[in-house]
Structure 1
Amino acid sequence: MPLRTLETWPHGAIMLDAQHTRFALWAPDAFYVSVELEGGRSVAMLPQPEGWFETEIPCPAGTRYRYNIDGEQDVPDPAARAQATDVHGWSVVVDPLAYPWRHSQWQGRPWHEAVIYELHVGALGGYAGVEHHLPRLAELGVTAIELMPLAQFPGVRNWGYDGVLPYAPQASYGSPEQLKHLIDTAHEHGIAVMLDVVYNHFGPDGNYLGHYAKGFFREDVHTPWGAGIDFDRREVRDFFLDNALMWLLEYRFDGLRLDAVHAIDNPGFLKELAQRVRQQVDTGRHVWLVLENEFNQANLLEHDFDAQWNDDGHNALHVLLTGETDAYYSDFAADTTAKLARCLGEGFIYQGESTRHGHTRGEPSAHLPPSAFVLFLQNHDQIGNRALGERLHQLCSPQALAAATTLLLMSPMIPLMFMGDEVNASEPFLFFTDHHGELAEAVREGRRNEFADFAAFKDPERRERIPDPNAAATFQHSSPSFKDSAHTQLYRELLNLRHRHIVPHLPGSVALGAHVLADAAVTARWRLGDGSVLQIDLNLSATALDSPTPGHLLFATPANQGAHLPPYSARVTLSPVGEHS
């Protein structure tokens, strides 16, 4: 890492020792900046080159502070390591070394061992609430939890994608020390912890950067959330690069999932982030970097990024399971079975073809290993972006869901589930926020208007029934109860088989191809690293197919299939080295 100079201060309040803190703010549009301490003390910050203001003062951990711009406006620290309450209130000085780690020798887990469980911290009762689920998840076979974004957002409930202070873990979930305790306890159970980070935009309430650092943004680049972030500017890049390193080094997260990097559209920044992480993390420690990327840029997965969420695979499976073809599912309505086969054989479905909007999307991906793709049947988006937040088991038959779950948990792709999937939770996962006034009204109406393209909500009166994101009840209804079911036993059995027979041999795996058996039925084969061949036959149609069992049967749903592949079924076979054709 290059040495810091006066032109590249670390953003925010950095403790120099137990009693002294350096404050640095990049405010190129400000004439005068001061640090305001709770209690009334004000300290002028010294102007530095390139728009920086800096000062060092006696100031221990726990001190509440904020910045004053030009004697006119008090603002929180954009790089605050904690907030006392809300995004508009006092920032808090944090000692990153104060937490006594109990499992400091933890080195993470190799990527091929990942079985990821995505969760919303608030819906599970905060950092301490998530801890209660760790023994259950470890017993189920989960090896990693992925936390939806934690960056401080306005109010006390939010999905997390409205965060405006990326360095501050959400105060309503608990303290930074409680977050570290959660991660420490997860490591005790052998569970890695990933964090979803949002570097493509700031939320609509509580972002003051435009008042004193307009250069953070590019007015000539627009995203769905407003002006684009200027990642070509060094101060801006460092703001996000240092943030990623903070989560990985200070909090000891085991990986990051980068949200919607297609809205960043700056491969140079992404590659620098990956390179910096690989340089800074201790040799021997496993740290995962995963992308969400609508552009399907396979080139980013050839070097420092481990994988990408495979929305293509989800969308094809969803169409086959539910018959829904509204909105973005329309891109998967034609030749859906062939599209699923392409996903299983090559990774991405869209590798340069045109979408419904007439734009080409994606790059060739067949050369990538299966582990470069994260497969899922549900996630926060795919449930929560439904008007009523229904879960998949409420949209398709239990037999079809069991078959699709078999594919999810037994394929060489990396499986991801969303909280409640394993128990077929009856509770929805709804879109919720805690905005007020005109912003609350805009979010409410915007949410309802999003569904005008869906057949079930073309009637404005029906759209009025969509839950208000700002109502406390919307959040409360989104907390799942966890009651074991037959589906839980299916998860437990499949994950046990995965860990015993597939995971040890995933390194070096390659896809051998997939093809269509019939409408809504496919077969796919992979050569594992030890030379054995894994085959999954999936039939999501209502028609039985003649299909003798090849190799040694690992699992079948329903059982006792004989030489047929029944309706809504899946079969997993494994042929040892030398026994496959």
Structure 2
Amino acid sequence: MRTDTMSTRAQRYGAQVNNGTTRFNLWAPDAHEVVVKIRDLDDFSMQSQGDGWFCVHAPCGAGAEYCFLIDGKHQVPDPAAHAQVEDVHGYSQVVDHNSYNWRCTEWKGSPWHRTIIYELHVGLLGGFKNVEKCLPILASLGVTAIELMPLHQFPGTRNWGYDGALLFAPANVYGSPDDLKSLIDTAHELGLMVFVDVVYNHFGPDGNYLSLYASPFFRSDEQTAWGSAIDFRRTEVRDFFCENALMWVLDYRVDGLRFDAVHAISEKNFLVEMAGRLRSSVTEGRHIHLMLENEENNALLLEKGFDAQWNDDIHNVLHHLLTDEDQGYYGDFCENPTQKLATSLKEGFIYQGQNTRHGKPRGESSGHLPPTSFIFFLQNHDQVGNRAFGERLPLLANRDALKAATAAMLLSPMIPLLFMGEEWGSEQPFFYFTDHHDELAVAVREGRRNEFADFAHFVDKEIRDRIPDPNAEATFTDCILDYECTRQPLQMEWNDFYRQLLALRHLEIIPRLPGTRAENAVVLAEGAVSATWHLGDGNQLRMDINLSSSSVKNESAEQHGKIIFRHRVDDQNERQRVLPPYSILVSV
């Protein structure tokens, strides 16, 4: 029977411990000679294995610090290092994943329909050990999964994680590999799943040395926003990323992965291969869940091994309805926004082949997919952090309208996602932050500010210059959340609101989700929609929501079942079939 351990699968990349020795592997097709330098030990010449591979067995074990010397002139870390001693430029460290003694050995995960995601940044909570301390709070809130923003080793001491250079090594400023495993162990003991956000579409601009000795890793004929595209046509490249994903699932026992910006990966068949390899790697009965971020709305991927996609469409139209913002990508959602909201509630994607404001078709038909194929959020790291001043929704939207939208998110059949601090109505900014230096720091700062040059508010360069410098330490520290602030009255009100809704989801929605399908969604008036779903147990879920500032008559409403939640709707409104401003009524 297959067991989820490092020793039971074939691996080509990285350093692998076996009975007191370590096998070092490196794919370096441009190199003539490769030496592994082991600190406090001899240097060892690696033998060519053909097809660009170099290998050597050395008399060292876990904890050994090493690097590679390429052709006598380039000293580089292991691109598949499972830990780094210092930064992305320094020595790598040998890790024995089999040495950790797991406590929660019977954990199999949870079915996808039970998922309620809480996205968080490990660095802002103070590292793996501090995140572990927060887990009981999150479990008691009612979430069932935490999603960790990328953990890959990055340059400096702070980063969003999307500038990762060494994808196998958890950032050492967060803690050790065993600290991460303890966090995951504790989460499982509390009944929480753990997802990790992985970035396979590009490497960060600092600390990636692959082009020095493995130029075939990249394509010369295709460029992305981050430089030359990764060449997923090559078996060696596919294996690199598949082995990384397998490491998270098997060695760290995470319950799933979120794949960042897969629209930047042109070889979609690689993604299908990845999903197949991951699902075939785990023991029978173990749940793993695979999520996508994909601007192209490729619905077909959701039928080929992936559970769900972050649904930017429903976020974007709701954000427009809540704030009236219409610049940038919100421009694609400000025409007939109420109809667009109805489409998303019924079919998932809004763009299913229609042209965007740039005149290009986007998306594929998605109405045949179950509602659980779509992850519904009002805030996340992108949608808050990619704002110039990192404002959260409580600063931008009417409070009652935001509460109605929040109820729609938490009581719809889609999979809800919360962003750290959202559950107490945090108004604290979440900025984009990095720790680059010299010319790269200047380029990142100016590039960040110039991203907003086409926005009316930021045409004036003096205003753009007020956008926080991503590299300033204060930009990071200003984002650090204080979970103790939930004791303040307004924060307690929001927290109680989320707890109530999550309890209702567990009681009334989750048990009925398997087999659920959308029935209809109709526009009642500008800003108001009525949506219905046929639940798996035969009942109907109905949601009537009004995000406008005017009362709306709902003549076609025929109350059935029981009302499970109402916001700003009293008995008289119900009898008169009226939805007041900023209200929602949910029944089963």
What TM-score does the superposition give when structure 1 sets the normalisation length? Answer: 0.96
Equivalent residue for 2:50? Answer: 49
Aligned ranges for residues 88-487 of structure 1 at < 5 Å?
Answer: 88-482=89-483, 483-484=485-486, 485-487=492-494
**Structure-2 separation of matches of 1:266 and 1:377:** 30
Partner amino acid, structure 1, of 2:579:
L
**Structure-2 separation of matches of 1:348 and 1:452:** 29
Partner amino acid, structure 2, of 1:16:
N
SS in 2 for 1:178: helix
Q: Is the contact made by 1:257 and 1:289 (CA closer than 8 Å) also made in structure 2? A: yes
**Structure-1 separation of matches of 2:524 and 2:138:** 35
Q: Deviations over 1:54-109 (max 9, x none)?
A: 00111110000000000101100000000011000010000001111000110001
Quick check: 206-215 or 480-489, which moved more?
A: 480-489
Q: Is the contact made by 2:569 and 2:580 (CA closer than 8 Å) also made in structure 1? A: no
Shift of 1:426: 2.2
Q: Is the contact made by 2:117 and 2:147 (CA closer than 8 Å) also made in structure 1? A: yes
Equivalent residue for 1:513? Answer: 520
Q: Is the contact made by 1:426 and 1:480 (CA closer than 8 Å) also made in structure 2? A: no
Aligned ranges for residues 64-75 of structure 1 at < 5 Å?
Answer: 64-75=65-76
Equivalent residue for 1:577? Answer: none
Shift of 1:549: 6.1
SS in 1 for 2:203: coil
Equivalent residue for 2:13? Answer: 11
**Structure-1 separation of matches of 2:94 and 2:59:** 12
1:557 aligned onto 2:574: no
Equivalent residue for 2:581? Answer: 567
**Structure-1 separation of matches of 2:503 and 2:224:** 43
Partner amino acid, structure 2, of 1:492:
R
Equivalent residue for 1:497? Answer: 504
SS in 2 for 1:171: coil
**Structure-2 separation of matches of 1:566 and 1:9:** 60
Shift of 1:546: 2.2
Shift of 1:39: 2.2
Q: Deviations over 1:286-317 (max 9, x none)?
A: 10000000110111101311000000000000
**Structure-1 separation of matches of 2:246 and 2:11:** 15
Q: Deviations over 1:415-459 (max 9, x none)?
A: 001000001112100000000000000000000000112121111
Q: Is the contact made by 1:151 and 1:167 (CA closer than 8 Å) also made in structure 2? A: yes
**Structure-2 separation of matches of 1:529 and 1:246:** 35
**Structure-1 separation of matches of 2:197 and 2:266:** 18
Q: Is the contact made by 2:11 and 2:243 (CA closer than 8 Å) also made in structure 1? A: no
Equivalent residue for 1:536? Answer: 543
Shift of 1:413: 0.2
Q: Is the contact made by 2:569 and 2:579 (CA closer than 8 Å) also made in structure 1? A: no
**Structure-1 separation of matches of 2:133 and 2:403:** 27
**Structure-1 separation of matches of 2:523 and 2:320:** 16
Q: Deviations over 1:351-376 (max 9, x none)?
A: 00111121110000000000000000
**Structure-1 separation of matches of 2:134 and 2:11:** 40
**Structure-1 separation of matches of 2:321 and 2:569:** 22
SS in 2 for 1:97: helix
1:527 aligned onto 2:534: yes
**Structure-2 separation of matches of 1:429 and 1:459:** 23
Q: Is the contact made by 2:153 and 2:171 (CA closer than 8 Å) also made in structure 1? A: yes
Shift of 1:48: 1.0
**Structure-1 separation of matches of 2:176 and 2:186:** 15
Shift of 1:529: 0.3
Q: Is the contact made by 1:539 and 1:565 (CA closer than 8 Å) also made in structure 2? A: yes
**Structure-1 separation of matches of 2:23 and 2:155:** 27
Partner amino acid, structure 1, of 2:566:
A
Q: Deviations over 1:170-212 (max 9, x none)?
A: 0000000000000000011110000000000000000000000
Partner amino acid, structure 2, of 1:441:
V
In the alignment, structure 1 segments of 5+ residues that lack a partner are: 2-7, 575-581
Quick check: 502-511 or 295-304, which moved more?
A: 295-304
SS in 1 for 2:99: coil
Q: Deviations over 1:221-250 (max 9, x none)?
A: 111101000011011000000110000000
SS in 2 for 1:106: coil
**Structure-2 separation of matches of 1:144 and 1:382:** 20
**Structure-1 separation of matches of 2:475 and 2:271:** 35
**Structure-1 separation of matches of 2:17 and 2:265:** 31
Q: Is the contact made by 2:109 and 2:286 (CA closer than 8 Å) also made in structure 1? A: yes
**Among residues 546, 554, 557, which one is paired with 2:553 in the alignment?**
546
Partner amino acid, structure 2, of 1:491:
Y
Q: Is the contact made by 1:346 and 1:513 (CA closer than 8 Å) also made in structure 2? A: no
SS in 2 for 1:196: strand
Q: Is the contact made by 2:116 and 2:144 (CA closer than 8 Å) also made in structure 1? A: yes
Equivalent residue for 1:578? Answer: none
**Structure-2 separation of matches of 1:9 and 1:274:** 17
SS in 1 for 2:242: helix
Q: Is the contact made by 1:9 and 1:24 (CA closer than 8 Å) also made in structure 2? A: no
**Structure-2 separation of matches of 1:456 and 1:549:** 46
**Structure-2 separation of matches of 1:75 and 1:356:** 45
CA-atom RMSD, angstroms?
Answer: 1.1
**Structure-1 separation of matches of 2:171 and 2:318:** 34
Shift of 1:267: 1.3
**Structure-1 separation of matches of 2:482 and 2:587:** 34
**Structure-1 separation of matches of 2:206 and 2:551:** 55
**Structure-2 separation of matches of 1:40 and 1:387:** 50
SS in 2 for 1:157: coil
**Structure-1 separation of matches of 2:32 and 2:162:** 32
Q: Is the contact made by 1:549 and 1:573 (CA closer than 8 Å) also made in structure 2? A: no
Partner amino acid, structure 1, of 2:559:
P
Q: Is the contact made by 2:338 and 2:523 (CA closer than 8 Å) also made in structure 1? A: yes
Partner amino acid, structure 2, of 1:289:
L
Equivalent residue for 1:5? Answer: none
SS in 1 for 2:452: helix
What TM-score does the superposition give when structure 2 sets the normalisation length? Answer: 0.95
**Structure-1 separation of matches of 2:439 and 2:304:** 45
Partner amino acid, structure 2, of 1:409:
L
